[in-house]
Structure 1
Amino acid sequence: MPISSFFNREIIISLLVASFPVLCLAYGSGYNLPPILLLVAALSFCRQFNKVNYTTQVKWVLGSFSIYFLTYLASTLYYGGSFAEIDMPNRIVLVLPIFLLLLLYPPKVDFLTSGFIIGSIIACIVAMIHIYDFNTGRAFSDSLESIHPSLKGYMPIQSGNMAMTLGLISLTISIHFLGKKSWWKFIFTLIAAFLGIYASFLSGSRGGWIFLPVAIVYLAFSNRQLITKKIALVSILVLGTAIFSMDQNKEITSRLDAATYQVIQYQKGHDENSSLGVRFELWKSAIYTTEQHPIFGSGYQGREVLREKWAHDGLVNAQVIKEYLHSHSHNQFLEDLSVRGVIGLTALLAIFIIPLGIFITNHRIANSPQQKMINQCGAISVIMMIGYCLSQAMFRHNSGIIFYSLITVILLAPSISMREKQS
């Protein structure tokens, strides 16, 4: 490749985009640097944003992301909260200039897919180092920062979920190579997919595994024309081997056994201070709060006051509330519903449903395997994030909201651009 072509805009932007999945889990806060560089690049091109073709799909994305942020801002102003409350959701607005930049200069698909594959492999390498070299018990443990400053920023739940998404996107890419009968690429990306998913299992983040069957069913249905008896048999053997190897990991099996035990105990009225017991109590508190303030929610300060009230009335465990008074609800849907009401929940659903609808629509009318692959990757990312948000308030953490919003616009930009070219 000539040096002059290496420094053209498309190549540089594609490299920056590809660096995001690569660096996400490479070190503790690896998800921060690429978005900053992309934002700086986007702002330097902002005078060209009038050249963007503002199609209906582009307007829906811009509108839904902006409204989600505005619900936070409105709630903060209405309840007189601290402006620190809007620090986290402003990330979803800051990706919009990046989205417009990528519509002007869509990332090269080869660069993008390579980034996801490498990122998935790195996720597993890092996870195995954490487990077998640092003996942390769980990969991506937040206790790692005591070992080295570069390890600060890992969280087992957040990072484990990110690894799962990288793995499943790699699986989607492997199916694309299967369709093209590029056997070596298929095998290599399939291995990368397994490594990313395995990294999630090493993190012990059980909430990230809930929608794994949903994702597999979606991919099987979307690529049903590729599935033959031989491929199905090989897939079952590979899956069986993977499950067996995971079953040999004591940490994974102990986490699953602990989850089953905690649910049974909670149903009997015991062990409300367990990991799952705390979640159930916080969910109950969020539901009671929503019943009190269904439309606009209670705001963060009001939510804390009501939590203490529910504990005083014996509706939720008082010890749990005392310890987790300032915590989020460990469910993004209940979090938004209780703090910002139906308005907040609607805005949250919009940033899931609108991108997912675009990916599914563009996949249905796509006339090339590459288009189908990009849209399947986008759909998988959204589907999995919906699953993560059932047991974790992903967007109350810097890593979660950056990961979802940036991955979404990174995949939406080529999806929409390819549709325009096709038209």
Structure 2
Amino acid sequence: MTPDSRVKVAVALDPPEEGWPSMDLVGHQLRAELTQNDPHRSRFDICWIEPHLKRWISCPFGADSRLGRAAWRADRLWGRHWQAVRLARRILKREAAAGRPLEVLHVADHTYAQVALAADPDMAVVCHLHDLNAFQPLLDPQRDPRPFWYRALVRRIVKGLRRAERVVCISGATRRQAIETGLVSADRLVVAHLGPKPSVVAEPKPALLERVRRDLGMERGGPWLLHVGSNVPRKRLDLVLESLAAARREWPEARLIKVGDRLTPAQMERAGRLGVADAVIQTGALSEERLSAVYRLADLTLLPSDAEGFGLPIVEALAAGCAVVASDLEAIREVGGDQVLRVPPGDADAWRVWTCRALRDERSGNPALGTQREQLRAARRAWAARFGWDQHVAAVTRAWLEALEAARRRSRRR
């Protein structure tokens, strides 16, 4: 295939300032696979659209102040709905003027689906759909009430999403929800599972394991609970703290490693009331190599979310052989299978009980159970191996070609 015959695709990435690890990971892995894999490079000519969120309103305020956080939310809305769309439109026009008209526009984050409105009518559009949380003000306004102007912005996102000829769902659960809610028609939806970060799958060097163990104080004490992710309400960090408090009643030196967003003031206050504030080690974001080590050093990964589109920490923990307790959600059943101990969402009593039971199994000194634990770790790794970025990118590129053909048929009918 000659350079001139390659399909010309624009990929709109997530602004790094958004701080959404799963969205950033999709963009990073798309770029890695598409630029390093020879078959992809010979078939597609990629133009990367990389927006950045600017601090227009929030600049004068402290980032941690209440006013500063509100101003940053305003900056994010401005960046999402105007800056990102203007940037995409400018790049598409620039490429067309240079004699390199782009044929497909791919939006890697559904909360930026309004970027699709910058595409010409004859252009094919593909969009990732990670979950339906952003659409709740329209789908379930009683549970997520928002002012009229906010709902208008969400409608604009929906308009962009429905402009897409193909929508790439990161799980079958997300696809089913999109169909049931009428968000997108079934014939436009495809499924492409995410995969763990390659460096998380790779076994860390012993020296790194020892360094991380020493840095986090894991040489003694324990057991060690782990939560990886944000601090938004649907992640239910209250249940993580309740589980930690229950574990400390049986193991007074139990600790929680919190990777990602730091606990909010309200969450820290709750930790104080439960008497576990000094048992929470907050690492912030970690390098992939150090995260890989933490997964292997932890006794148990917890994911008590009320809603998940995929549950990336589950696949990463399983790839490292770590035991997982997670909410019994459709996406988690799909992603974790029988390798995850599932607990009813929001049931604090069940979370306390099953966290302690899982820790007893992991910490038991019984030799027979030790052999069984090694077998379970091997089974977890084998399960996680079915999720890979090569399959994800292959599904995405198929969606590009299908969308392009659909767009061409639409143009011929006009």
Question: What is the TM-score normalised by the length of structure 2?
Answer: 0.27
Structure with the higher strand share, 1 or 2: 2
Q: If each structure's helix is expressed as a fraction of its own residues, which one has the higher value?
A: 1
TM-score (norm 1): 0.26
Select the structure with the greater relative contact order (CA < 8 A; seq sep ≥ 6). Answer: 1
